[in-house]
Structure 1
Amino acid sequence: MHNHEKPLTSAEISTLWANYLGDSMSICVFKYFLTHLEDAEIKKVVDYAIDLSQQHVKTIEDIFKQEGIAVPKAFGEEDVHTDAKRLFSDTFYLKYVKNMAKGGLANYASALPNLVRQDIRSYIGKSIDSTKELYNIATDLLLTKGFEIRPPSIPYPKEVSFVKDQHFLAGWMGEQRTLTGTEITQLYANIETNRLGLSLIIGFSQVAKDATIRKYMMRGKKMAKKHIDIFSSFLQKHDIPFSTSGQNEVTDSTEAPFSDKLIMYHVGLLSAAGMGNYGVAMALSPRRDIAMYLGRLLMEVGLFSEDGMNITIRNGWMEYPPSAIDRNNLARRP
């Protein structure tokens, strides 16, 4: 599989390094899920998900060892307590797998165009295929069980028409045009990802051991609710009917299934994904008011993420990512 004609590029090393951390975390999370899963069909999906993550970790570990690259410490047995009480419902587990597969597809797709070496492109290509399969399996099962929430519908266009004036871009004053299908899609997608993140962060706020981290989770809970309300208001203002998952997916357990280190890393992943989603939505939303709100909310998530990284750094949990040579530091040596 390995090609030693050329060393790995910065893009290839960084992609594999980030994937290793993410998949090692997923293995811990899925191990805990499997301890409590009662639904046999959902259990098969989580079994498939953990198998994929284990394959990814093994492949990346082999590549790093072959290339003489330090394998990250990442996450392991010390970061998961499978004997902890149930924290989430079986339905949440299935929704979680689907959302993580969705995020994985986005990450792999953004990484692939920057990869050069054939073996790394092959690995990422296979990861896209298997993650797509996981996404489809999870979505199909959600549909079968009646838990999948469909995005809002719009009428089929019956004729071709063109934008006639700048009002199409307006949004501040006066009567606003209705939302485009793309704007509805982005608003609704961000409602749903925030809802899943809200359930996760509520659970984390109950079980985190450090009081500072519990307070940080409560801040994230408040922020997620605010963002859901803002995105929902755009749909409601234009009388666009939409459904959301409203069932209680978090138990009252206060017994920690994960280390505080894993909890902080996971919330950091959610924040990064949220900022990416908001950036895409901004680019696809011509209406100025929508873009303005997205920009403000993106900055709010960015500040939240930075504060989370500061907590992680203070606790000595953040591994230094692969980086360029600091030549100024070399020049200052004694």
Structure 2
Amino acid sequence: MHEEQNVRLTSSEIAVVWSSYLNNSFSICVMQYFLANVNDSEVKLILEFALNIAQKNFNMSKEILKKDNQTIPVGFTNQDVCPDAPRLYSDAFYLYYIKNMSKVGLSVYGVALATSAHSDVRNFLSQAIQTSTELYNKTASVLLSKGLFVRPPYVTTPDSVDFIDKKSYLGGFLNLNKRPLNVIEITHIEANSEANSLGMALLAGFAQVAKSKKVREYCTEGKEIAKKHVQVFTTILTDDDLPSPMPWDLEVSDSTVTPFSDKLIMFHLSLIIASSISNYATAAAASLRTDISSSYVRLTAEIAQFSKSCIDLMIKNEWIEQPPQIPNHKNLAKE
């Protein structure tokens, strides 16, 4: 087998490593604050493991970028976090947060691996997938041991194989006799409901502590959007006499002392929005009932509009680092 010799990174490889540097610098700040305010020893071990992963991924990303002579992003530093700030979230919240972020990591790194050829990048992403898997399993075990793991509904399924033979299976806007949900649709509805419940608690805390009035307003608006979406998903389940499992003990304290810079808070909000849009797109494609897929499209449009307003604020305050881009050859040709 021949070793690669001075092979440059492709555009997709630069994108994933550059984004990883930014995201892990952000995660380091968040984990440092969580660790300074955790009480439960088992939860502390999970947070320490998550911080260790973020630091390793951050260092590996930096090394790959330097090796390819890429500009190193600013990312987030100690200036963006105050670990000494009073506690804002519960230990249970930390577990739900890590569970959700590890799921996001598995998805992002998995997709990136399938578009990468460079051995350094593939090795980095493979390791990131492995550690994200380990983090999810560790977190799930602790949630289960504490009786906090949110399980999707148990259902009764047919005892024989069947095939869809009628277009009515897809339903329609005016179809009053909708077929029951299938297990794939239930899976996505429950997962998106849980993610929005977590987002509500996260943004409720941010709305209390952000320094800028405009950032506080965006966090409050984001919280209300998440609340509305939870209600939409809950209604779909309860209409079929299914329970809507919810995370609990997502307590938010009354602290108004900010642990994070407004730049970090808005970056976090942008990550939540991006994750929701991605999740809804996947769920819409997997949902065969027309009313459900249409609901995802409608909710996505609402989030996209909200995202535009948030990005405008971030640009105004110069909080968004510009990703690497190609030269403007048309302008260069005019010089």
Scaled to the shorter chain, the TM-score interval is over 0.9
Per-residue CA deviations over 1:124-157 (Å, capped at 9, x if unaligned) read 0111011100000001100001111100111143
CA distance in 2, matches of 1:69, 1:248: 41
| Equivalent residue, structure 2, for 1:231 | 233
CA distance in 2, matches of 1:163, 1:182: 15
Q: Is the 8 A contact 2:36 2:84 kept in 1?
A: yes
| Equivalent residue, structure 2, for 1:212 | 214
Does the residue aligned with 1:114 lie in a helix, a strand or coil?
coil
**Match among 260, 267, 270 for residue 269 of structure 2:** 267
| Equivalent residue, structure 1, for 2:192 | 190
CA distance in 2, matches of 1:224, 1:332: 48
Query: What's the offset of the Cα at 1:332?
Result: 3.2
Q: What does residue range 37-56 of structure 1 map to in structure 2 within 5 Å? A: 37-56=38-57
Q: Would you say 1:327 and 2:329 are equivalent positions?
A: yes
Query: What's the offset of the Cα at 1:307?
Result: 1.1
CA distance in 1, matches of 2:243, 2:98: 26
Q: Is the 8 A contact 2:190 2:245 kept in 1?
A: no
Query: What's the offset of the Cα at 1:165?
Result: 0.8
Q: Would you say 1:160 and 2:145 are equivalent positions?
A: no
Q: Would you say 1:58 and 2:69 are equivalent positions?
A: no
Query: Residue 244 and residue 119 in structure 1: after superposition, are their counterparts in 2 closer, same or farther (change >3 A)?
Result: same
Per-residue CA deviations over 1:196-230 (Å, capped at 9, x if unaligned) read 11111111000000001111111101100110001
Q: What does residue range 244-255 of structure 1 map to in structure 2 within 5 Å? A: 244-255=246-257
Q: Would you say 1:143 and 2:144 are equivalent positions?
A: yes
Mark the runs of 5 or more structure 2 residues left unpaired by the alignment. none
CA distance in 2, matches of 1:153, 1:105: 25
Amino acid at match of 1:120: V
Mark the runs of 5 or more structure 1 residues left unpaired by the alignment. none
Q: What does residue range 295-334 of structure 1 map to in structure 2 within 5 Å? A: 295-333=297-335
Does the residue aligned with 2:331 lie in a helix, a strand or coil?
helix
| Equivalent residue, structure 2, for 1:14 | 15
Per-residue CA deviations over 1:47-95 (Å, capped at 9, x if unaligned) read 0000010001111111111211111000000000011000000110111
CA distance in 2, matches of 1:130, 1:36: 24
Q: Would you say 1:124 and 2:125 are equivalent positions?
A: yes
Q: Is the 8 A contact 1:3 1:119 kept in 2?
A: no
Amino acid at match of 2:318: G
Percentage of identical aligned residues: 40
Amino acid at match of 2:224: K
CA distance in 2, matches of 1:248, 1:98: 14
Q: Is the 8 A contact 1:87 1:252 kept in 2?
A: yes
Query: What's the offset of the Cα at 1:4?
Result: 4.1
CA distance in 2, matches of 1:289, 1:66: 50
Query: What's the offset of the Cα at 1:303?
Result: 1.2
Per-residue CA deviations over 1:222-266 (Å, capped at 9, x if unaligned) read 100110001111001010123212434211111000000000000
| Equivalent residue, structure 1, for 2:91 | 90
| Equivalent residue, structure 2, for 1:70 | 71
Aligned length: 332
Across the aligned residues of Structure 1 and Structure 2, the Cα RMSD in angstroms comes to: 1.2
Does the residue aligned with 2:114 lie in a helix, a strand or coil?
helix
Amino acid at match of 1:145: K
Per-residue CA deviations over 1:145-192 (Å, capped at 9, x if unaligned) read 111110011114311112221110113222000001000000010000
Per-residue CA deviations over 1:22-41 (Å, capped at 9, x if unaligned) read 11000000000011111011
Per-residue CA deviations over 1:269-318 (Å, capped at 9, x if unaligned) read 01000000000000000111111110011111111112111111100111
TM-score between the two structures when normalised by the length of structure 2: 0.97
